[in-house]
Structure 1
Amino acid sequence: MENLFDLTGKVAVVTGASSGLGADAALAYAKSGADVALLARRVEKLNEVKTEIEKTGRKVIAVGCDVTDEESVKTAMKTVFDTFGQIDILLNNAGIAVRGGVDSMTVEDWDKSFDTNVKGIFLASKYVVPHMKEKGYGKIVNIASVNAIVADKFDVFIRHSYNSSKAAVVGLTRGMAASYARYGITVNAIGPALFESEMTSGTLFKSEEFLNKYNALNPAGRPGSRGELNGTVLYLSSDASSYVQGQFIIVDGGGALV
């Protein structure tokens, strides 16, 4: 049977690739045959991921990029095109989670969430979509969150700007999907629940009380483990999902069901 998940000959760009789910996805792309461009602000961390990917034998570059800054994104994408000559897959993974409710957070923190989580996807896509349209092929995967549709249930971890910015990612995904399907481009979103990463290990995973409550409310009884998001990422990035468009796939152990 044809391997629908084979990415040989493809070039994947991963934003927020310096750690966590982004780094895991980048390695999964390489193991599936793709060459990879790693984008993030922390180049030293990117180089660590780059070293791991080089062990697979795939070509990989690390490019410093701030997804909230248009010139930075434009320059980074030019570097990718100059190196590989193509971009077939764009994983918009860069994101932040700022704590606070609308009655307590600052405007600056609110804007920071939307600049990274939504504007970052807009800018990265802005400099990739024209190429994909010309080529007649592209796979764009946006990392949203289960919290786009499920509110945080514990006061200690209220994150209203995170909830709303991730909901905006789903809306942007649907709009892009409808507009670009005719060009052979699929655009879909993933909604992870709690996974241990650099962003969560210093906050959510440090609270035994929170973890106990989370596990009690989640049908799987646990957070996601490292690598458990990769299957969904590869599915939406490969020809296995050639007729899947504008979808929001939640990866949460069933948490959104309760």
Structure 2
Amino acid sequence: MNTFDLFQLRGKVALITGGGRGIGYQIAEALSDAGCSIAVCSRKLAACEAAAAELSAKGIEAKAYACDLGNEEDVQRTVQDVIRDFGKIDILINNSGTTWGATVEDMPLEAWEKVMKVNVTGTFLMSQAVGRTMIERKSGKIINIASAAGLKAEPPEVLNAIGYSTSKAAVVHFTRDLARKWAQHGIYVNAIAPGFFPTKMTKAVLEKSGDTIKGKNPLNRIGDDHAIKGVALLLATEASDFMTGQIISVDGGSTL
């Protein structure tokens, strides 16, 4: 086998939550470049439809779905719809996420619960629904998008969003525990922990503290539109078939 064949995804189907923009769409681009069919979903259908149209223009089969990740019925319906349209789900990317900036003493309970519902409960519900089909097929790749913020504590002047950080730390352990539980079924579960990337979610933080964040980063920069793609492709393909339960931080060295 040619080494590059290990990174091919022809005939595979990936479901990417929050795949309409930002890191989710960057991963969709990477997997589609390897020949993968793409299903993208989020609460905001318009963004997913635009992303699916761009991918389809490259000759890739791509479809968009509306889904509230915190709603169990919505998640199950979306998974059923994707399987109806594509026949299977080989790869799940749990990328959808939200945040809330506030000091700990001022964090509203409803904000904390919203972040946990999307970032933790949503990851669980989608993994459970897709995982059931993967168990039947004895095959699957699940990639959770955690965060460098879930691996280290940031000073308040850099990031004051304890709900987000805590939720991403939960995703880290969820990844390891699920990998241990489902290895017997031929399902690989890994996570990517991005540092700061220019996305809608990080816009306010980067506008306020971007120079400080860059200055403290060993590589003296933040992520770009391509930094996440190679790692995502690795974890989605046969190239990572002896890796499970791993957290790969793509952060310019900020967690060192």
Q: When the two structures are superposed, what TM-score results if normalisation uses the length of structure 2?
A: 0.97
**Counterpart-to-counterpart distance in 2, 1:154 and 1:110:** 17
Of residues 27, 42, 45 in structure 1, which corresponds to 2:44? 42
**Equivalent residue for 2:214?**
215
Residue 45 of structure 1 deviates from its aligned partner by: 1.0
The reply to whether residue 239 of structure 1 matches residue 241 of structure 2 is no
Aligned to 1:252: 251
The corresponding residue for 2:8 is 6
Cα distance in 2 for residues equivalent to 1:246 and 1:176: 8
**Cα shift at 1:154:** 3.5
Q: Distance between the aligned counterparts of 1:154 and 1:111, measured in 2? A: 21
Gap runs ≥5 in structure 1: none
Q: What does 1:8-23 correspond to in 2, within 5 Å?
A: 8-23=10-25
**1:206 corresponds to:** 207
Equivalent positions of 1:106-255 (< 5 A) are: 106-155=108-157, 157-201=159-203, 203-207=204-208, 210-255=209-254
Q: Which amino acid aligns with 2:115?
A: S
The AA in structure 2 aligned to 1:145 is S
Distance 1:154 1:133 in 2: 42
Aligned Cα root-mean-square deviation (Å)? 1.0
Contact 2:194 2:250 in 1 (8 A): yes
SS of match in other structure, 2:106: coil
TM-score under structure 1 length normalisation? 0.96
Q: In 1, are the aligned partners of 2:93 and 2:143 still within 8 Å (CA)? A: yes
d(CA) in 2 for partners of 1:147 and 1:216? 17
SS at match of 2:233: helix
The residue type equivalent to 1:220 in the other structure is L
Describe the superposition over 1:92-111 as per-residue Cα deviations: whole angstroms up to 9, x where unpaired: 00001211233110110110
Letter in 2 for 1:230: K
What is the aligned-residue identity percentage?
37
**Counterpart-to-counterpart distance in 2, 1:215 and 1:35:** 36
Give the count of matched residue pairs: 254
Could you tell me how far apart the structure 1 residues matched to 2:33 and 2:79 are?
Answer: 23
Query: Superposition pairs for residues 27-66 of structure 1, below 5 Å?
Result: 27-66=29-68
Equivalent AA in structure 1 for residue 20 of structure 2: S
Residues 158 and 213 of structure 2 are in contact (CA less than 8 Å); yes or no, is this contact kept in structure 1? no
Alignment check: 8 A CA contact 1:113 1:161 kept: yes
**What is the CA deviation profile of residues 152-178 of structure 1, one whole-angstrom value per residue up to 9, with x for unaligned ones?**
223363111111100000111111000
CA distance in 2, matches of 1:78, 1:138: 16
Distance in 2 between residues matched to 1:219 and 1:167, nearest whole Å: 22
1:72 and 1:79 map into 2 onto residues whose CA distance is 10
